[in-house]
Chain A
Amino acid sequence: MTNRPTNQLIDLLSSNVKPVAPLPPPLARAGVTLATMALLCGLAFVLLHESNPLQSRGPGGEWLVGFEMLAMLATGILAVTGAFFLTIPGRPRYWLGAPLVPFAAWLMLSGAGCYRDLVRTGPAGWQLGHSMDCMIFIVGASLMLGAPLLWRLSRATPIDPLPVAALGGLGTAALAAFLLQFFHPFAVTFIDLAVHIAAIIIVVGLTALLKRPMLRPA
């Protein structure tokens, strides 16, 4: 890399040192960002919401949708918080796996709901709903929610940007899917669920692909 002796580099760096403000703790940064995202979700809800999500699975399915939404929210919150922890060198890597538990619960509950509808309604449970609209919504809402998140994550100039970008992408996609429930007056079928998963993969893939320009890693 260089023929410059290390002590000469130390002299250069120390003579060029400027005061810097230490970043607030990751939990505080995550809290402020989640509050901003909640504000954006709240604004979209007040302006546009059209249905009660708990009724989308029909009578008796309220609890299933309720737990599914809780799992989405937990996935989003844990993934966003984990992304902030992973921007700081030396912070625990278990944050990388933390959102996977609620994410698995979300997929299982959603799958269970789809199966319940299939049994209840027969072949209609396989129908393609408004899948493409859902995909556009999840990707579009992720862009809106992801902008403040990525800006705040980039302040830390992460040394390993891939896990940060992947968790950030999963967090925004999960929160976008949570928001989608308020604009989703019909039950999700297995095919719709596959499209939702594809939309999440697209968002995570995009953030992972664009990690360098978006996160400006060190």
Chain B
Amino acid sequence: MGGGDDRWGELLSAAQAGDAAAYRDFLTNVTPFIRALARRRLRAEDAIEDVVQDVLLTVHRVRHTYEPGRPVAPWIAAIAARRSIDSLRKRGRGASREIHDPIAYETFAEPDANKIEVDDFSKQLAKMMGELSPRQKEALELVKLKEMSLVEASAVSGQTVASLKVNIHRAIKRMRLAASRNGVE
């Protein structure tokens, strides 16, 4: 990496001191490098982008383990390799347990009949989510809908893991109450 690595080291050291602009520069500069590393192990573009984001979240979480003055590239490469392997394992497990069945959620033979039911449910769900506080809604969206881990959701939202857990619990409780009130199963 040469000079680029030295520049990354300076930016990351500044980020450790809390410099947001330096951190933004660092993350933006290393993203193509991370993407290239992920591309060596993965083929699907969506999987590569997932790994890139996962690596960025991990970098955020472990940025205190970078020792100022040492090369940054091997540090990032190790994180990218680990997260690529995790992604491959996760996808392998998913592929061995799940089957593709496009009509699995269909209840009625006539496709339009299902659409009405889905549309109706979506409206009710949106209404119930509208009753949640912004932090509860954010916690539920990140962890339950976008399937982020608590740690990832914590890094993205700024809420602590404990706070995320409490907000998800309260959101689900509130939605259950609303569902029983509205007769939704």
Interface residues of A (CB under 8 A from B): 1-4, 6-7, 9-23, 25, 87-91, 156-157, 159-160, 218
Contacts and interface: CB of A to CB of B under 8 A. Distances in A.
A47 to B, nearest CB: 37
Given A1-B54, A16-B158, A159-B58, A90 B23 contact: no
Chain B interface mostly: helix
B62 A17 contact: no
B124 interface: no
The 7 closest A-B pairs by CB, nearest first: A19-B18, A90-B74, A89-B78, A14-B24, A90-B78, A20-B64, A90-B75
Contacts of B60: 13, 17
Contact of B28 (A10, A88, A89): A10
Contact of B20 (A3, A7, A15, A88): A15
Contacts of B31: 6, 10
Contact of A218 (B17, B19, B58, B68): B58
Chain A interface mostly: loop
Contacts of B79: 89-90, 159
A16 B148 CA distance: 18
B66 interface: yes
16 contacts: A1-B54, A2-B50, A6-B49, A13-B156, A14-B20, A17-B20, A21-B16, A23-B64, A89-B82, A90-B74, A90-B76, A159-B58, A159-B82, A159-B83, A160-B82, A218-B151
A22 B75 contact: no
Nearest to A159: B82
Chain B: interface residue count, which band? 35 or more
B67 interface: yes
Contacts of A21: 16, 64
B62 A22 contact: no
B144 interface: no
Nearest to B64: A20
Given A2-B146, A9-B156, 10 more contacts: A6-B52, A10-B56, A13-B60, A14-B24, A20-B64, A23-B64, A88-B65, A89-B65, A157-B61, A218-B61
A91 B75 CA distance: 8
Residue in A1, A15, A22, A25 whose Cβ sees the most chain B Cβ within 10 Å: A1
Interface string B63-101: 111111001001111110011000000000000000000
B140 interface: no
A69 B53 CA distance: 48
A157 B83 CA distance: 14
Residue in A13, A87, A88, A160 whose Cβ sees the most chain B Cβ within 10 Å: A13
B146 A3 contact: yes
Nearest to A88: B65
